[in-house]
Chain A
Amino acid sequence: MSFAGLFGGFSDVAALIARMLPPDFYQLSGIISATIETLWMALLGTTIAVLISFPLSFGAAKNTTPNKFVFALCRGIITMTRAIPDLIFAAIFVRAFGIGPLAGILALGLHSIGMIGKMFADALENADAMPREASVSTGASKWQAIFASILPQATPTMIGTSLYRLDINVRASAVLGLVGAGGIGFIIQSALRSLDYPSALAAVSVIFIVILAIEFFSSKVRASILGERSASVVVVRSQSERSIRRTGRDRTLLVDAVTMRSLVPPLTSDRKSRIISVWVYVIMLAIALGTINMPIFSSFGYFDDAWRIVAQLVPPDFTTARSELITGMSESLAIAFISTTLGLFIAIPLGLLSSRNIVVRKMVFVGTRSMLVVFRGIPELIIAVLFVSAMGLGPVPGTLALTLVTAFFMSKLIADTFEEVDPSPREAIFATGATRIQELFGSVLPQAMPALVSQILYMLDVNLRSSTVLGIVGGGGIGFLLLGSIRVFEFGTTGAVVFSIFVVVYAIELVGSWVRGVLDKAN
């Protein structure tokens, strides 16, 4: 691929977007029901993942695991589910369970175990060991002690992680439809295929707004559940009338509970909001289960077909499509490296523009920040689909799409790093009569460098995962072979592709954590 090709791509995309305008909402009811389906998929997928991750995390945490074998097994499952992208699970499950949301839900459920399980296990490991010792010394059994003293310390992190993952999964489920796994992605895909661009834009903008709304909403909920406002300590701050009245009420409830020696915890506003959240969740779950047609409950024979296909993945067949496998994998690696590098070049100036301690004009950084927030709301595969539609199949549109995503994402990380830079060396350098640019290179960059390097590694890690699925929408790389092998029922090859992706992603993760360890030591 040439640089001329890379940059020519942007004008093709501009032309495509011009043809999309104005969006046409004639399919609105279809779009809305697909959007709702997308949300339910995310909810159910996350629920499945949490249900599996919870027991798994006890096996995968050093302080709660029964023995080394269980530990290795649980950690292994977690690592594997994290290394295989959800879209790949979805592509396989669509074959196994047929087109529809079920494949998507299972894909989200499996892939999310990787992150949720790891975070849950870390939360358990981070718990203070003293209360547990105290529990054991009262004669509590191992699991009584774990539930009474380790688990309560981990719950806030567990709830926070689950909500955060729900957020991520809403985004992810928007694109699962691209491989036929239900949701709005399906509508976008078919609109683009039938060259109905204005309708595609309508669908993209609806899901885009929904994603932003959910992100906003879930961060509010997370803050209110995990606000760690002490359940009943009443601190009347100089806040609004309403909050004073509320703390007053909490105190009354508490005093009542104490005078009555209530054996049930008093209904403070904190507890109330927690109970409401649980009920909202239960009701949504019930609606989701009722709305989404999941034949898994109606027939168990269904599982046989699915199992037969999954079983065909092993042993992996590396010989049939050997050269395609090598080309695809190296293409994916190339896409990841190039898009990370190019994205970085765009991200550094954007990051500078959105750091409040570097740009003097408030307008500039607020403007850049909000623009970036908006762009980050678009799922990367949607961007990839747009580029592929504009420029045709191949690795170039895929690389461009990943470059843009990298730029949007990196610039936030970079801005955050710059804002954490210690201001005193900067003053010292200004005091020597340096220009703003000299100061930037002389004091800001050196301080931010270690953090930047580890962010670049992280981005490379993320991009490698993404580049393996780009091929599914025609954006080049190994994903193309994966989808092809599923279409022609060569599941041995599918297994080989999945295995290779796992190995490469895992290797990059190991290299990344090794480099980060070296960096940490150097500091």
Chain B
Amino acid sequence: MSLNRFDQEADPIVRLSDISKRFPNGTLALDKVSLEIPRGQLLCLIGLSGSGKSTLLRHVNGLHKPTSGSVDVMGMRVSEAANKDLREVRRHVGFVFQQFGLINRATCLENVLSGALGRLNWPRYGVRSYPKQLRRLAFDHLDRVGLADQAYQRADTLSGGQMQRVAIARSLMQEPQMLLADEPVASLDPESSGQVLELLLKIATEENMTVICTLHQVELALGWAHRIVGLRAGKVVLDRSAIGLDQRDVMDVYQRVDVTGAPTSDEDVPTSISNS
């Protein structure tokens, strides 16, 4: 496989080789993590807060760079890529936030349309400033997340689960090869959480799109993921297909006591992009 050439067809789409990340404050957030993620897989990352889930996710789209090891995404060596190449990768990688990141005052349709900005040349303002075929596409994506009827409602009139679905429609609008979701259901009620994960699974299966999702609810991960990766203190301690996995195997991930005395408590690991 040739490196540093962008290849949308690459499979596995993500390859992490022996990556470690030590933050400037000395915290070892990731410790020799290696993962290969094929196309079309819904992978759930579980672990305590501070175990390195979010840090791992941010290595995939280059928001963080590893201290050692390499990250390849779609054939591009993200861990060494220049900013211009990174933007190219990010255009093809959707990111779903815990807090949605919607513009409250704008309509759902306008929020979804803003996902297409990476393909457009000029700044846009308002629904009518986007080309008609993009508006049609935005309607299709809203339909897909079940919110086409709310297209002209303001985003802040929706429930949390609906807002997250609009945010997912916005990510789909950028026509990504892969979706990264950072605790997408952490601020949602159980029913909405189920709907959002069902949607992510549907996207992964129907579009053959890779979805990497950090979660802290084990039951949800067991219920929806193809594959579950557990992190503890920056190390991969579990990496198995979700089929046949039971609650007990998974709970091991959450064991707090570690004989070596490595930091396993809820120490906060910085996840902001300024540390990259």
Which residues of A are interface residues toward B (Cβ below 8 A)? Answer: 128, 130-131, 133-135, 137-141, 143-149, 151-153, 155-156, 230-233, 254, 257-258, 261, 263-266
Contact = CB atoms under 8 A, between A and B. Distances in A.
Contacts of B100: 130, 134
A230 B153 contact: yes
Given A134-B100, A233-B153, 10 more contacts: A130-B99, A130-B101, A138-B118, A139-B90, A140-B114, A148-B103, A153-B105, A156-B105, A257-B152, A265-B152
A208 to B, nearest CB: 38
Contacts of B128: 264-265
B224 interface: no
Given A148-B124, A148-B125, A151-B125, A138 B153 contact: no
Interface of B: 61, 87-88, 90-91, 94-95, 97, 99-107, 109-110, 114-120, 122-125, 127-128, 132, 135-136, 139, 148-149, 151-154, 156-157, 167, 170-171, 173-174
* Residue among A137, A141, A152, A233 having the largest count of chain B Cβ atoms under 10 Å: A137
A427 B72 CA distance: 71
Contact of B107 (A130, A264, A265): A265
Contacts of A263: 132, 135-136, 139
A490 to B, nearest CB: 48
* Interface residues of A, dominant DSSP: helix
B123 A138 contact: no
A362 B135 CA distance: 57
A257 B152 CA distance: 9
A152 B110 CA distance: 10
A138 B117 contact: yes
Given A139-B118, A263-B132, A152 B101 contact: no
A258 B149 contact: yes
A299 B78 CA distance: 59
A230 B108 CA distance: 12
B152 A149 contact: no
A230 B139 contact: no
B148 A144 contact: no
A375 to B, nearest CB: 38
A231 B107 CA distance: 8
A147 B95 contact: no
A106 B114 CA distance: 38
Contact of B114 (A148, A153, A233, A266): A148
B124 A152 contact: no
Nearest to A136: B90
A237 B91 CA distance: 45
B91 A138 contact: yes
Contacts of B123: 143-144, 146-148
A155 B110 CA distance: 15
Top 10 nearest A-B pairs by Cβ distance? A139-B118, A134-B101, A139-B91, A147-B123, A140-B117, A137-B95, A130-B101, A148-B114, A263-B135, A144-B117
Nearest to A263: B135
20 contacts: A128-B104, A131-B101, A134-B101, A137-B95, A138-B90, A138-B114, A138-B171, A140-B114, A145-B117, A147-B123, A148-B123, A151-B125, A152-B125, A153-B104, A155-B105, A230-B156, A233-B153, A233-B154, A263-B135, A266-B152
